[in-house]
Amino acid sequence: MARPFLHSPRSAAASPGPQRERPAKCGRGAALLAATMIATAALPSGAGAVDFKLPAEDYGKVVLPLRQSLGDAARDVIDRQNVFEPIGLLREDDPMRRLARAVGRLDIKVEENGQEFLSTCTATIVEGSLVLTNYHCIPGFSGKVLEASILLDYYGPDSQTTRIAVETTAVEQDATLDYALARLAGPAPADIETIPFSRERSRPLERLTIVHHPAGQPKMMTQFRCYAADKQAEGPKLRHRCDTLPGSSGALIFNSDRQVVGIHHTGGLNENDPASFNEGSNIADVLGRSALLRAAPASGGAPTPAPPVAATTPQTPDAAAATGPASTAQPTLQPAGGRQPAPAPSPNAIIGGSDPASSYNDLLLGR
């Protein structure tokens, strides 16, 4: 019942719900990225297959090594500086940076078929004490989530980050809309701003912004050629032309008023196909389903901070068993340069030896 990443098409026998973030995308290296990442995703595994798996021992790290199982995903973030803009380059008082502080990288340790691995999504602290992400991240479609945590303030290798444990059982979920809410197991920072959810659906060709952790890398925003697709389908799905990568699953989609209009969940964008698009769920439909999320004031004024939510959702025995131990926030200072010890040679060997993030660090530090 836990599948942090389902980026490949699932079989007809799979659990209901939308197809997950796929590695198909725009830009240089797309063919190599797709070939590398689909190679394992095409293999059947229960309800589906993940796009990439990192070693379980990487759980808890801030800078994730660029491993071969990621293909060109993380390096593509470096190459495409005009698409993925580091949030950390914005002024600290920039409205989008302040609002996006609630967005973090959701790290998930999963056990499946006797094997443990790490995968990542994007998640956002909402309503004071809840985390909003995709259903296919928590609780997922197969396997078992052993641990989960949200990493905040990861802007670069020298960031002073905060990691907060997340309970592994969702308190509210919907597989069709592909969203889930889980509790924080520790207190959120007091200065997290309230996320404003729009009551209105996104309009065709409306300018959008996505805040996410593509490939588990530092927090980015996509604004370049990021807009709602001209042709939208009937129903809750939001088609958009905003570039993403695996790891972007669960990212919130903002309109030009910095209100959330969607939650991203599925890839499919191809620069050679003007009719292609990525997909998310309209947040208006999520609000219509949710008993815990609240829309921004109709007047358009700034919403007041929300108090912690004490939601009560019955847990099944299997779900209760998946809940990990609670913990509190853990301030973490990433060593300068983001150096990680190189593991022993393996199919997941670190690309670039013992300094997996050196090129990325150069980008963030302006070198």
Give all domains of the chain, ordered by start, each with its CATH number: 53-183 (2.40.10.10), 206-289 (2.40.10.10)
The proportion of the chain whose per-residue pLDDT surpasses 90, expressed as a percent, equals 46
The confidence score (pLDDT) of residue 246 equals: 87
In order of 67, 161, 259, 264, 331, the CA distances from 134 in angstroms are: 24, 23, 19, 8, 25
Alpha helices in the chain (DSSP H): 30-41, 73-79, 95-99, 283-289, 317-322, 358-365
Contacts of 236 (CB under 8 A, 6+ apart): 176, 177, 281, 282, 285, 286
Taking the CA atoms of 288, 177, 313 and 189 in sequence, report the sign of the dihedral they define: negative
- 104-118, 171-185, 212-226, 305-319: least confident range: 305-319
The confidence score (pLDDT) of residue 75 equals: 61
Highest mean pLDDT among 64-73, 76-85, 152-161: 152-161
| Residue 50 confidence class, pLDDT cut points 50, 70, 90 | low
| Residue 133 confidence class, pLDDT cut points 50, 70, 90 | very high
Which candidate, 302, 317, 293, 324, places its Cα nearest to that of 129? 293
Region 347-353 average pLDDT:
38
Cα separation, 352 vs 37, in Å, equals 19
Look at 61 and 320; give whichever has higher pLDDT.
61
Is the previous residue joined to 139 through a cis bond, with omega within 30 degrees of 0? yes
Give the distance between the most distant pair of CA atoms in the chain.
58
Cα separation, 306 vs 250, in Å, equals 21
Cα separation, 62 vs 330, in Å, equals 12
The HSE-up count of residue 199 (CA atoms within 13 Å, CB side) is 7
| Residue 163 confidence class, pLDDT cut points 50, 70, 90 | very high
Region 96-104 average pLDDT:
97
The confidence score (pLDDT) of residue 104 equals: 98
| Residue 278 confidence class, pLDDT cut points 50, 70, 90 | confident
Question: Helix (H, G, I), strand (E, B), or coil: what is residue 130?
Answer: strand
User: Which two three-digit tokens encode residue 215?
Assistant: 């490939």
Q: In the predicted model, what is the mean pLDDT of the chain?
A: 73
| Residue 269 confidence class, pLDDT cut points 50, 70, 90 | confident
| Residue 3 confidence class, pLDDT cut points 50, 70, 90 | very low
pLDDT at 344 > cutoff 80: no
Look at 268 and 20; give whichever has higher pLDDT.
268
The confidence score (pLDDT) of residue 316 equals: 35
- Partnered with residue 237 across adjacent β-strands are 281
Over its C-alpha atoms, the chain yields an Rg (Å, rounded) of: 19
Q: What pTM value is reported for the model?
A: 0.71
| Residue 7 confidence class, pLDDT cut points 50, 70, 90 | very low
The proportion of the chain whose per-residue pLDDT surpasses 70, expressed as a percent, equals 62
